[in-house]
Amino acid sequence: MKITGIELRRIAMPLVAPFRTSFGTETARDVLLVRVVTPEAEGWGECSAMSRPLYSSEYVDGAAEVMRRFLIPALPAHADAQAAGRALAPFKGHRMAKSALETAVLDAQLRARGESFAAFFGATRERVPCGVSVGIMNSIPELLDAVEGYVAEGYVRIKLKIEPGWDLEPVRAVRERFGPDLLLQVDANAAYTLADAPHLAKLDAFDLLLIEQPLANDDMVQHAALARRVSTPICLDESIESAEHAAAAITLGACSIINVKPGRIGGYLEARRIHDLARAHGVALWCGGMLETGIGRAANVALAALPGFTLPGDTSASRRYFATDITTPFELRDGHLDVPAGPGIGVDPVPDILDEVTTSTEWISR
C-alpha cells in the first residue's frame, strides 16, 4: 500500500464536566489526529497523549514532534500496519505516537479491502458491555449523584478514581447506596506505596472487582507483594507497556487482571498480542480509555469485542465526555455499545464538526 501523504491535525474538545484523577484535572482535550492517505483509501488514528506528561512521559506536543521528525520519515513508501510497526520499533518509547500512526495505516489498509477492525482482530461479539469512570469529586453527595446518573443511563460497571484521603469513604458510600449487585472497581493511578498495604486491604470489605494500578508504574515487584496482602484482585494499567511487560507481570504474580489501552502499549497489533498471552494464562482483560473521540472509541470498541475481554471496559458513550463528538456519536443501548461493522474503524469524522474544532493542520508529503 503506497502512502502518498500524512496529515497531523490538532483539535480542541471541551469536556462536558471536569475529570479529576490523582494526578490532575482535565477540562478539555487537545487531541492529535493522524490521517494517512493512499491511492486506495484514507485511514484515521487518534493519539491518546495528554497535554502534559502526567499519565505517562508522553504529551501531545511531543507526540507531534516525534512523528514529524522521526516516525513518519521512517515509514516505508509502501507499507501495511505490520511493516509500519517494524519500521517504528527501533525508536525507543513514544508508544502513543506510534499507536496513532500505526492505527491510521491499519485503518487505510482495512478500508481498502473492505474489512472491519472487528473482523481483522477476531471479534466474537457485535456489542460490548460498557462501564464508566467517575472522577474524584468535591463531596460524597456529589459523587452519589453522579453515580446515580450513570446507573440510570444503564452503565453496567462503575469505576471510582481514588487517592489518599478519597478512598474508603467514597467507596463505602457508593456500595451502601447502590447495593452489592453493582459492579464496582477503583483506580488509584499509582497514588499509593506498599506502605499503604494495610489501608488498601480495608477495601476488601467492599467486594470490588479490582484495584487498578495502586502503586508506581515501574514497580511490578511491589505490586506482587501487595497482591499477596489483599484479597481484592490487582489490575495493572500504567505498568503494562508491551506484551513483554504483561508476561513479566503474570510471571511475578503482580496482577490477575490487565487494563489494555492500545495507545499506552504502542497500538492494536500489540494489544492483540497481549490479548493472546493473557488468555493463554487465564488473566482477565478489559479495554481502558483515554477520553477518546469517536475515532479512538471506534477502534477500542472493536478491540473490546475480542473473546479475552471478559470485563466491562471504559468504552463509554460519546456523551460521557463530549457534548458533540467528531463522529456520529456512540450511544449506550441497554448498557452496551454496538461494534462498528464498516470497513476499517467503521466511522468517519463529520466534516463540518471536524473543521469547527480544528486548531491546526500539517500536511507531510511522502
Active site residues: 161, 261
Three cell numbers at 153?
A: 443511563
Of 245, 315, 309, 252, nearest to 283 by C-alpha is: 309
Is the Cβ–Cβ distance between 40 and 3 less than 8 Å? Answer: no
